[in-house]
Structure 1
Amino acid sequence: MTVDEFAATLDAGTPPAGLSPALLGLWHAGRGEWTTAHEIVQDDDGRDAAWVHAWLHRDEGDTWNAGYWYRRAGRPVYSGALDEEWREIAEGLLG
């Protein structure tokens, strides 16, 4: 699945089948469902989920907490637009 195909599913009522927890969290985040996305990724100890977790905290304006999750993900703190990073994360996870 490409990033554009993934993004196009955001208008559907349900996420695509078979998504990893990180992608499922990102899907909910893309729909503005912050709490659902956060609940999904906070229960996953992997680096991919930590990357999405960082994005979520950056989205809410909690840069200190975002920094913690970027470190857990092994990623540099992102300073560009949120929508650009969302796409970058999607590309990385769909890889």
Structure 2
Amino acid sequence: MVYEDFIHSIESDSIPSGLSIQLQALWYEAKGEWEKGHDLIDHLTDSTSAHVHAYLHRVEGDLWNARYWYSKAKKTEFKGDLKTEWEALVKMLL
């Protein structure tokens, strides 16, 4: 799947098959289902999931928790806007 296809899939009612758990979390967040996205990765400890987890906590406005997950992901805290970080994460994961 390419980025443009992923973006168009958000307009659909069903999530595309074959997406990684991290992309699923970002897909649900883009659909306005933050909690569903968060629930998918909340229990995962790998660095990629931690990076997405950090982003989700930024969306939530819980910066302390976001910083914790950036640290777990061994990533610098993202300082740009949420849309830019979401796009970067999706492109990285595709």
Same fold by TM-score greater than 0.5? yes
Distance in 2, matches of 1:2 and 1:76, equals 26
- Structure 2 residue 76 is matched with structure 1 residue 73: no
Give runs of aligned pairs for residues 1-95 of structure 1, distance below 5 A. 1-94=1-94
Look up the SS of the partner of 1:23 in the other structure. helix
- Contact kept in structure 2, 1:21 and 1:44, CA below 8 Å: no
Q: Which runs of 5+ in 2 are unaligned?
A: none
Q: Name segments (4+ residues, structure 1) moved above 6 Å.
A: none
Distance 1:15 1:73 in 2: 26
Corresponding residue pairs, total: 94
Report the Cα offset of residue 7 of structure 1. 1.2
Please state how far the C-alpha of 1:43 moved relative to its aligned partner.
Answer: 2.4
In the TM superposition, what is the alpha-carbon distance from 1:45 to its structure 2 partner? 2.0
Q: TM-score, normalised by structure 1?
A: 0.93
Please state how far the C-alpha of 1:86 moved relative to its aligned partner: 0.3
